[in-house]
Amino acid sequence: MKKMVKIKGKTYHLNYILGLVITSLVLLIVIIGFFYTPYDPNTMNAALKNSPPSLMHPFGTDNFGRDILSRVMVGAGTTYVIAVSIVLIGAFFGTVVGALTGYFGGWLDEVIMRFNDVLTAIPSILLALVFVSIFGTGTYNIIFALGILFVPSYARVVRSEFIVLRERDFVNNAKLMGAGSLRIMFIHILPNTRNVLIPALLIGFNNAVLAEAGLSYLGLGVQPPQASLGRMLSEAQSYLLDSPWYALAPGLMIILTVLGFSLISGGMGND
Amino acid sequence: MKYTLKKSVTLIVSLLITSVLTFTAFQIIPGDSALNALGMDATEEQLERYREEMGLNKSLPVRYINWLKGALKGDFGYSTQYQMQMKAGTLIKERLIVTIWLAVMSFLLIVVISIPLGIFSAGKKNGILDSFITLITQFFMSVPPFFLGMLITLIFGIILKWFTPGSYINPGENFGQFLRFMIFPAIAVAVPKIAMTVKFLRSSLLREMELDYVRTAKSKGMTKARILIRHILKNALIPVITFLAMMLADILAGAILVEQVFNLPGLGRLLVSSISNRDYAVVQAIILYIVSVVIIINFLVDLIYQWIDPRVKRD
Amino acid sequence: MTNYETLLSVENLSVGVSDKRKINTVIDNISFEVKKGEIIGIVGESGSGKTMTALSVIGLLPPSVKILSGKVNFHGKNLLTIEDKEFRRLRGSEISMVFQDSMTSFNPLLTIGAQVEEMLRLHSKYEKEEYKALTIEALAEVGLSKPQEIYQKYPHQLSGGMRQRAMIAMAMITRPKLVIADEPTTALDVTTQSKILGLLKKMNEKHGTSIILISHDLRVIQSICDRAIVMKDGKIVEAGPTQELFSDPENEYTKKLLAAIPVPFSKNSIMSNDIQNEIFIRNLERSGNTLKKDIPDPAEQKNRQDDILMIKNLNVFYSENGKRLLGKRSRKQVIHNMTFSVKQGETLGIVGESGSGKSTLAKAIVGLNKEIEGIININDGATEGLVSFLSKPQMVFQDPYGSLNPTKKIGWILEEPLKLQTKLKKKERLAKVNEIIREVGLSTEHLKRYPSQLSGGQRQRVAIAAALIVNPKLVILDEPVSSLDVTIQAQILRLLKDLQKKYNLTYVFISHDLNVFFQICDRVCVIYQGEIVEMKEAKELFFRPDHEYTKELLKSAMLIKGD
């Protein structure tokens, strides 16, 4: 039997609990980071340049003498805000497009789906790079670029749910009762997609975090002095030999964030 | 036959759309490419001559056709990021090999490791080992490939000294060394994908095992092994094939990032530097290449699908 | 053909499912025997344990189900204690199984021939060509024409009936001593059902194969079984020769099951009483009533305002959803030039098998399918009573699982039509909802629940309530009781009848199950491939069917003694 844990009478999978624990920890750190960090993330201190982890600086300092822990706390916050924005944009527009095409079908559906197919064939990083090369780098640009990139996958997920659900009798019933198409789509059908949509949101968040990290790592995302996890990693690369701890903190943060949410959404599937 | 025809039409349409989009996207960028190419000191005359030569004064559709014609021959115009006048096409050709090797090696690693691992973990369902494997796969899926690259560099390169970071060698010079070096970036790209594939294969297998025809097979008196091989595997692998095809796009994405970590002279790094340097001719070309390759491979997979799954043949 | 040698004997078998810490008993101390060449029926409603019994015999219980005690003796060996390897050898060669859903029970990626042949390959040794030849022979034996073609085909390319035959071929090809058939006909049309049952009987007679036939449908059991066992809640409540069991049951539950079968016009006996027929017809003739014409001509009817539904020259089409970008829209004509009418307060039954077009007709009448040519005239006028709104005809759908929105509470589901069709305020709406939920036999407690928390019968009551809450005059019911257990069916039909009387409703009742009709319908209309073949008063249709197809239907529904 998969390891189960009993809490207050309901049984959960161990992995799910683990995910909740990890995520809560990470979120806690980030939320605290909004209000307080041990040091100012941008204060440079040449004297303490590149020092290894110590009691004063649990994760050491970077090449400018800035405290890495504080930077990570703030950087994670930036990454999260970006990721959430991306998912919100992608999910909102994706749901609307998916609902409309899934429910009505027709030639518009065909056209949009072909378009979608082409878009998903392309590695998202590539599209993001194209976007960035056209419109420039920076936080808002990558939110916009990645948000749009996420629309097709949400559209596809919602669309396939709608295609199945629109044939169900409760939809026919709603039509008979006199409900209009919009009402049917968003009040009757949409709630039934939640089993698919919610895990998709979590996974989307993870992908957004990784995508932002990737872009910022390449130097095309968040620009200095703003901190983000990806940015910190690219800065860390040149110091890998001498100060490997530089990379450890932000990397670990990314891993824990993504892992936490994966475990939760994986556990949700099993409930 | 109708199915193949339909898919071929879609293929050509997709490729055309891609080329149009790619071309148009870069034409709307503000900025004067002549200025870009010749620098701030160029005179108006020189700039005009450049524009004439490059055909920049013609209309959009004409420029598109010219570009497309060139593209089909491999001529993408001139690159602007290096001092000497280099053709974009040449630059790309040089870098293509590296990226292709990286992608192919990663793909092989993925296929060779995921399939046995996936089957194994499906067999051990509900054991402690299974939960452990799930945890590990979740973990590796959470690691960004470039961070993994850094870790690999750190552990295998710096600490264990199994390879020297940054000592990339051309395949032409020393093929053995080339492979020995490339294995590490390939691992960096492959590991998260292996995790994903194992997870997917496992759930595909488990889903198949629940189906009725497995019960029928058992009722015929077949051993578990025979059922797995003859019945379940083939059925479960079908969705995995499409999954792997989608994976290809991801591999390329991973390659772009990993090249940066390992300092490989591949398409990925070229792309990034071209974007920073506004060398749009190169960017256009690379995008077109990569996207076309992905679309073509997806097309081939669709064809294979038809061959394998009799339910699709029906069309 | 019964030989008194015992083939299988189940002794004191108990089987349980582990649920968290407890063990729920699924089969409770049952014992029965199957003799050589016998056909035994196990009948019971859902949850009775009949399928578990079958799986225990063949050794395919799911991992969460454990044997608690007892023996299963087959040919001298206790199947519960033999080694896996040996049991595997028996499976397929001595004991085989036919499953309910032939579509999912076959591997979709292998040909029928390969799968049937596999049975041979597992248990016997022949030359390569011989395998193929024997397989084709087996396919022919079960009545499949062009067996060589069937050999090459894939499961999805065959019809349900053909697939089931193939499954029987697969189960019989090794000439097992015992075949277990678990609801082999439930997913099939009535006419195909009787053919499959006939095939099983033929196999039994020809090869002496014993059969355990499992079904929830008493009439299926009665048609070919020598003896029958009735199960309820994991226990055997009664067993005995089929004739006796059905004509003179002893146990209360058995009686209840028999009583629940809608039986037309006669007492508990399912076999139609020929003498009763004769008396009825003689009475009819004596009173001077001639049997009416088949299809009443609407033009001849004097009280036209009594007609609530009038259909004239109706053609209904059905086009594939999701029109393609290239190529024409594929449009099929499902209903051909249909004409009939329904009087207020009447219950018209429309019977047809799958493919007859009855569902499409239903959807057209209520306006869900707009691809029609011809006239559909609905005259429900203003309704009397406190309610002063016009209401379009409402529909009760077949599948209580699909017809209620799983994410909404019952209260919401019932309130929705009021929100959409009336101008009532919230308080008034809630009052109506409370009222209607009681009318259908449920309580206001149920309003707070979700559909998944109700049983099938309860859900159907909700569906009826939702249809009636807007006071329609005409209600179309599309297979409203087909997916319910027999005892629940009876309850729902009674409810429908009561409501009809109370509110002077008009029903158009669609089904494939003739037995249900004769309980509730005044007139019955038989549809075949989109056309009306016969339409009469229910009683007349039953006793004096004219059309060949009607007779076929009645025979298959085992309402007439066939050959």
Chain A stretch 96-115, residues whose beta carbon is closer than 8 A to a beta carbon of chain B: 114
Residue whose entry in the numeric block shows the structure tokens 């420039």: A136
Amino acid at A13: H
Contact between chains at B216 and C99 (C-beta distance less than 8 A): yes
Chain A stretch 41-70, residues whose beta carbon is closer than 8 A to a beta carbon of chain B: none
Beta-strand pair C506-511/C474-478: parallel
Does the pLDDT of residue B169 top 60, yes or no?
yes
- Taking only the tens place, the pLDDT of each residue in A146-201 is 898 889 889 988 998 898 888 888 998 898 888 889 999 999 999 999 888 888 89
Q: Which residues of C touch B123 (CB under 8 A)?
A: none
Chain B stretch 218-257, residues whose beta carbon is closer than 8 A to a beta carbon of chain A: 246, 249-250, 252-253, 256-257
State the DSSP H helix or E strand holding residue C80, giving kind and residue range, or none if neither: none
What is d(CA C366, CA B216) in angstroms, rounded to the nearest whole number? 42
Contact between chains at B287 and A126 (C-beta distance less than 8 A): yes
Of C155, C152, C120, nearest in space to C135 by CA: C120
- Does the interface predicted TM-score (ipTM) exceed 0.90? no
The alpha carbons of chain A give a radius of gyration, in whole angstroms, of 22
Tokens of C196: 């499959």
Amino acid at C199: L
- Taking only the tens place, the pLDDT of each residue in C229-243 is 999 888 999 999 988
Name the residue facing B221 among C123, C154, C156 (closest C-beta). Answer: C123
Which residues neighbour C462 within 8 Å (Cβ) at sequence distance 6 or greater?
Answer: C400, C404, C410, C413, C414, C437, C440, C442, C446, C451, C454
Q: Tell me, yes or no, if C89 comes closer than 8 A to chain B by beta carbon.
A: yes
Q: How far is C82 from chain A (nearest CA, A)?
A: 26
What is d(CA B167, CA C7) in angstroms, rounded to the nearest whole number? 77
Contact between chains at B216 and C93 (C-beta distance less than 8 A): no
Q: How far is A190 from chain C (nearest CA, A)?
A: 10
Which pLDDT score is estimated for A112?
85
Q: Tell me, yes or no, if A266 comes closer than 8 A to chain B by beta carbon.
A: yes
Q: Tell me, yes or no, if A38 comes closer than 8 A to chain B by beta carbon.
A: no
Contact between chains at A126 and B13 (C-beta distance less than 8 A): no
- Taking only the tens place, the pLDDT of each residue in C142-160 is 988 889 999 999 998 888 8
Q: Tell me, yes or no, if B276 comes closer than 8 A to chain A by beta carbon.
A: yes
Mutating which of B7, B36, B146 best tests the A interface, going by the most A Cβ atoms within 10 A?
Answer: B146
> Dihedral (C-alpha) A115, A121, A124, A128: value to the nearest 10 degrees?
-50
Query: How high is the mean pLDDT of chain C?
Result: 81
Does the pLDDT of residue A104 top 50, yes or no?
yes
Which pLDDT score is estimated for B190?
92
Q: How far is C329 from chain A (nearest CA, A)?
A: 11
**Contact between residue B296 and residue B11 where contact means Cβ atoms under 8 Å apart:** yes
Q: Span A219-246, mean pLDDT?
A: 80
Which pLDDT score is estimated for C271?
30
Mutating which of C407, C415, C432 best tests the A interface, going by the most A Cβ atoms within 10 A?
Answer: C407
**Contact between residue C328 and residue C353 where contact means Cβ atoms under 8 Å apart:** no
Mutating which of A160, A169, A182 best tests the C interface, going by the most C Cβ atoms within 10 A?
Answer: A169
Mutating which of B219, B226, B228, B314 best tests the C interface, going by the most C Cβ atoms within 10 A?
Answer: B219
Q: Tell me, yes or no, if C375 comes closer than 8 A to chain B by beta carbon.
A: no
Name the residue facing C104 among B213, B309, B310 (closest C-beta). Answer: B213
Chain A stretch 197-236, residues whose beta carbon is closer than 8 A to a beta carbon of chain B: 206, 210, 213-214, 217-220, 230, 233, 236
Of A88, A206, A230, nearest in space to A147 by CA: A88
What is d(CA B165, CA B150) in angstroms, rounded to the nearest whole number? 10
* CA closest to C100 among chain B residues: B212
Query: How high is the mean pLDDT of chain B?
Result: 79
Exposure string for C134-159, b = 16+ CB within 10 A, e = fewer? bbbebbebbbbeebeebbebbbebbe
Contact between chains at B215 and C110 (C-beta distance less than 8 A): no
pTM, to two decimals: 0.75
Q: Tell me, yes or no, if B143 comes closer than 8 A to chain A by beta carbon.
A: yes
Q: Which residues of A touch B202 (CB under 8 A)?
A: none
Three-class DSSP category at C43: strand
> Dihedral (C-alpha) C203, C204, C209, C213: value to the nearest 10 degrees?
100
The chains found to touch C (3+ Cβ pairs under 8 angstroms) are: A, B
Contact between chains at B294 and A123 (C-beta distance less than 8 A): yes
Q: Tell me, yes or no, if B231 comes closer than 8 A to chain C by beta carbon.
A: yes
Which residues neighbour A24 within 8 Å (Cβ) at sequence distance 6 or greater?
Answer: none
Phi and psi of C235, rounded to 5°? -115, 155
Exposure string for C319-341, b = 16+ CB within 10 A, e = fewer? eeeebeeeeeeeeeebbeebbbb
Q: Which residues of C touch B238 (CB under 8 A)?
A: 109
What is d(CA C180, CA C389) in angstroms, rounded to the nearest whole number? 57
Contact between chains at C90 and B221 (C-beta distance less than 8 A): yes
- Taking only the tens place, the pLDDT of each residue in B229-260 is 888 888 888 888 878 877 887 888 888 888 88
Tokens of C1: 């053909």
Residue A133 to residues A83, A119, A141, C208, Cα–Cα distance (Å): 20, 18, 10, 79
What percentage of chain B carries pLDDT values higher than 90? 5
Ranges under pLDDT 50 in chain C = 1-3, 266-281, 284-305, 322-327, 381-390, 560-563
Phi and psi of C74, rounded to 5°? -130, 120
* CA closest to A109 among chain C residues: C322
Q: Span A1-9, mean pLDDT?
A: 55
What is d(CA C469, CA C354) in angstroms, rounded to the nearest whole number? 30
Contact between chains at A218 and B154 (C-beta distance less than 8 A): no
**Strands across the sheet containing C77-78:** C22-35, C6-19, C65-74, C77-78
- Taking only the tens place, the pLDDT of each residue in C377-395 is 777 543 333 333 346 788 8
Q: Which residues of C touch B217 (CB under 8 A)?
A: 107
Q: Which residues of B touch C123 (CB under 8 A)?
A: 221
Contact between chains at B221 and C118 (C-beta distance less than 8 A): no
The chains found to touch A (3+ Cβ pairs under 8 angstroms) are: B, C
Q: Tell me, yes or no, if C91 comes closer than 8 A to chain B by beta carbon.
A: yes
Exposure string for C509-540, b = 16+ CB within 10 A, e = fewer? bbbbbbbbbbbbbbbbbbbbebebbbbbebbb
Residue C490 to residues A111, C365, C475, C482, C515, Cα–Cα distance (Å): 51, 26, 19, 11, 11
For chains B and C, CB pairs below 8 A equal 66
Name the residue facing A124 among B253, B272, B290 (closest C-beta). Answer: B253
Which pLDDT score is estimated for A126?
79
Q: Which residues of B touch A259 (CB under 8 A)?
A: 138-139, 142
What is d(CA C166, CA C188) in angstroms, rounded to the nearest whole number? 14
Q: Tell me, yes or no, if B293 comes closer than 8 A to chain A by beta carbon.
A: no
- Band (A4; pLDDT cuts 50, 70, 90): low
- Taking only the tens place, the pLDDT of each residue in B176-222 is 778 888 888 899 999 999 998 888 888 888 888 888 888 899 999 88
Cα end-to-end distance, chain C, whole Å: 18
- Taking only the tens place, the pLDDT of each residue in A53-99 is 777 777 777 777 788 888 888 888 888 999 999 999 999 999 999 99
- Taking only the tens place, the pLDDT of each residue in C303-353 is 334 677 888 888 888 776 544 444 455 677 888 888 888 888 888 999 887
Q: Tell me, yes or no, if B210 comes closer than 8 A to chain C by beta carbon.
A: no
Neighbouring C-beta atoms of residue C368, cutoff 10 Å: 15
Contact between chains at C325 and A111 (C-beta distance less than 8 A): yes
Q: How far is B201 from chain C (nearest CA, A)?
A: 18
Which pLDDT score is estimated for C300?
37
Largest CA distance in chain B: 87
Q: Which residues of B touch C324 (CB under 8 A)?
A: none
Strands, DSSP E only, in A198-254? Answer: none
Q: What is the DSSP string of A3-28?
A: -EEEETTEEEEHHHHHHHHHHHHHHH
